[in-house]
Amino acid sequence: MARDNSALMQFVTADIQKYEGIRMPLKASLVEKALVRKLPMDRLHPNPDDEFCMPEIGPNYSIISGYEQQIRNATERGKSPFAEPLMVEKMRPDGYLILNGHHRWAAARNMGLKSVPVNIINPTHEIDIKEMLANSKHDRRVSFDLDEVVFRSGDSPDEVEKGLGFPFNRHYKDRLRIGIPALFLFLTQSGYDIWVYTSKFYSLDYIQRLFKHYHVTVDGVVTCRANRKKIAPGKDSSVAKLVAKKYPITITVDNDSVLFTHSSTKEFEQFDLSGSATEWSKQVISIMKTLNNKQQQEEQS
């Protein structure tokens, strides 16, 4: 089927205008997320906050063309059109909002596909963060980057926690850095809230349930972080103010350092880690104990 770029953008513009003012995210059920692996094209809607839909940026038509060729090749072999499903979110009043995969969606539309593979997720929204802040128990928090610090891939067996048993291992494929459950438990018992951040398209409930299987909880989960900041930088400012008000102190744990920051003054103190995978959590706990003792002494003086 020949591509018609103008017709594509006319459709995108019309669809966005149709749902303007009435579009809102919905939480998909566990059953729906588990069972729905393919959706009709007419139930998928372009995301007005994505660069693909912005007139000043718009789609890359060479990328769309490449996906069209991929669809042709897959069709000839009787395989799925895409190696990875589109990431979508359930929305009101109907259908699903595309979170990731607009160029693949456009190629599928140009090629006349009736349906495409999808993965339905429940990303973190501002209302979720406000609820987490309202339910949090402490005025100090420790934050972790899930992608770079907490989750590990390709590491030797002694550098990761033992994987979950059947049947949970079929759903939860992410592996934790060795010592993460013990460290999280220590932090909770020491009076800290734990917040984790990811740039990837994880479901909020997936992350929460994963840690519960390791008998620890996280107080804040922010997913799809990089995508939101890229497309709507102003939306994060009000949330950042709420977080700073709730937590005068934030401690950021990285692979090779622990950063102690005062939210109001932005003054910080950095503690270095050796980088040893097997000693990492032990070193973080030792630093946290030192910080706790120092704070207790300051409060008593």
| 100-122 pLDDT tens trace | 999 999 999 999 999 999 999 99
Residues 135 and 276 in one domain: yes
pLDDT score at 27: 95
| 67 and 151 belong to one structural domain | no
Number of residues that this document lists for the chain = 301
Residues 221 and 259 in one domain: yes
202 and 265 inside one domain: yes
For residue 162, what is the DSSP state? P
Residue 236: predicted pLDDT: 57
Residues 89 and 142 in one domain: no
Q: Are residues 15 and 131 in the same domain?
A: no
Find out whether 280 and 182 touch, Cβ atoms under 8 Å. no
Q: What pLDDT is recorded for position 206?
A: 94
In the chain, the DSSP E strands lie at 24-25, 38-40, 44-45, 86-92, 96-100, 115-120, 140-145, 151-152, 175-176, 193-197, 220-222, 249-253, 257-262, 268-272
**Which CATH number fits the domain that encloses residue 268?**
3.40.50
* Domain co-membership, 153 together with 186: yes
Judged by phi (left if over 0) then psi (alpha if -120 to 50, else beta), residue 101 lies in left
**Lookup: tokens for 13:** 């513009």
Weakly modelled stretches of the chain, pLDDT under 70: 1-4, 154-155, 225-237, 301
What predicted TM-score, i.e. pTM, was given to this entire model?
A: 0.87
Phi/psi class of residue 164: alpha, beta or left (left: φ > 0; alpha: ψ in -120 to 50)? beta
Q: Are residues 108 and 138 in the same domain?
A: no
Report the interhelical angle of 102-110 vs 5-19 (nearest 10°).
120
State which of 90, 120, 150 marks the end of a domain. Answer: 120
Helix, strand, coil tally for the chain in percent (to 5): 45, 20, 35
- Same structural domain, 146 and 269: yes
- The parent domain of residue 267 ranges over 126-300
Instruction: Judge contact between 285 and 183, C-beta under 8 A.
Output: yes
For 115-158, the pLDDT digits (tens) are: 999 999 999 999 999 999 999 989 999 999 999 999 998 668 88
Model pLDDT, residue 232 = 41
Same domain? 150 vs 254: yes
> Which tokens sit at 284?
């973080």
How many domains in the chain?
Answer: 2
